[in-house]
């Protein structure tokens, strides 16, 4: 589903932000990406979303060689991805319902499918009762649920979540992880960057650790033991 082969990323300043990344992620996997700030986690995500181009190597995602996607096809490629942001990026002047609805409109969904699908998804993430509220009227945990709803409404193959519990307390974080777990159980690949040790302990998943642009650990062990 995702395959990095000898991938480097060098920004214009000449520094190697990713250095010879070799990584395969299968469909339906749930992967945590960990590592200190500046390690290259966001850069790795930006290569997947094609916001940034690889500098060397090969990267294939959902069967497509990512360097070969033409600029006018990138938006279509991105439909395979659902992106969950730490800072939500919700539209302030739109309601919960509208924030999710708009994601379906931009991909040209059949108008008669939109309302039932949006309500179904809001229900799934546990926020259907707030569908008429504005983001400013919601807690951080609720905003993140809306953000997840928006990311999954078009049924992406891969969810990319960059520090998506970074602004939440542990109870809300667990709530978000449970939702991601449920989505993953339906076959969606989930890749989540996190600093949250508690979450890593509570949700034993594959953990990939990067430091200074290199993968230093990749475990599929049942339980991730934290090196203190
Ligand atoms: P996070 O650690 O939460 O992923 P960022 O991705 O915003 O935070 O930034 C991580 C590191 O990348 C920081 O050290 C930041 O200064 C650096 N960085 C981010 N964007 C740029 C940029 N455009 N040019 C140079 N450095 C950047
Ligand atoms: P993380 O998400 O793990 O905090 P990043 O991927 O943001 O790490 O950053 C990895 C390295 O790449 C850092 O050294 C950062 O300063 C650098 N970097 C990130 N974005 C840019 C950019 N746009 N231009 C130059 N350097 C960048």
Query: What residue segments make up the domains of the chain, in order of their start?
Result: 2-219
Ligand 1, pocket-test mutation among 18, 36, 37, most atoms within 8 A of CB: 37
CATH superfamily ID and name for 2-219: P-loop containing nucleotide triphosphate hydrolases (3.40.50.300)
Spatial separation of the C-alpha atoms in residues 117 and 121, rounded to whole Å: 6
Spatial separation of the C-alpha atoms in residues 23 and 119, rounded to whole Å: 37
Ligand 2 pocket, 18 CB below 6 A?
no
Ligand 1 pocket, 167 CB below 6 A?
no
Ligand 2 pocket, 38 CB below 6 A?
yes
* CA 195 / ligand 1 centre spacing (Å): 15
Cα–Cα distance list, 95 to 38, 115, 119, 137 (Å): 35, 14, 13, 10
pLDDT in tens, the chain (228 residues): 999 999 999 999 998 999 999 999 999 999 999 999 999 999 999 999 999 999 999 999 999 999 999 999 999 999 999 999 888 999 999 999 999 999 999 999 999 999 999 999 999 999 999 999 999 999 999 999 999 999 999 999 999 999 889 888 999 999 999 999 999 999 999 999 998 889 999 999 999 999 999 999 998 644 444 443
Ligand 2 pocket, 194 CB below 6 A?
no
pTM of the model: 0.85
Ligand 1 pocket, 37 CB below 6 A?
yes
Q: Which sign, positive or negative, has the C-alpha torsion 107, 182, 207, 221?
A: negative
Residue 109 contacts residue 154 (beta carbons within 8 Å): yes
* CA 98 / ligand 1 centre spacing (Å): 31
């Amino acid at each position: 589903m995702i395959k990095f082969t000898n991938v480097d990323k060098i920004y214009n300043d000449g520094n190697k932000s990713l250095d010879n990344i070799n990584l395969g992620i299968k469909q339906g996997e749930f992967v945590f990406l960990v590592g200190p700030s500046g390690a290259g986690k966001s850069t790795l995500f930006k290569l997947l979303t094609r916001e940034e181009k690889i500098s060397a190597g090969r990267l294939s995602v959902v069967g497509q060689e990512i360097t070969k996607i033409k600029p006018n096809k990138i938006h279509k490629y991105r439909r395979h991805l659902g992106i969950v942001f730490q800072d939500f990026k919700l539209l302030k002047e739109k309601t919960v319902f509208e924030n999710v609805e708009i994601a379906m409109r931009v991909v040209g969904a059949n108008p008669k499918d939109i309302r039932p699908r949006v309500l179904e998804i809001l229900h799934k993430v546990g926020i259907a009762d707030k569908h008429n509220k504005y983001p400013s009227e919601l807690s951080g945990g609720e905003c993140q649920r809306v953000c997840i709803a928006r990311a999954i409404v078009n049924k992406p193959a891969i969810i990319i979540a960059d520090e998506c519990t970074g602004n939440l307390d542990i109870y809300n974080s667990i709530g978000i992880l449970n939702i991601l777990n449920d989505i993953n159980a339906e076959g969606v690949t989930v890749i989540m960057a996190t600093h949250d040790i508690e979450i890593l302990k509570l949700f034993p998943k594959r953990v990939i650790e990067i430091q200074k642009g290199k993968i230093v650990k990749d475990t599929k062990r049942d339980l991730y033991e934290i090196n203190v």
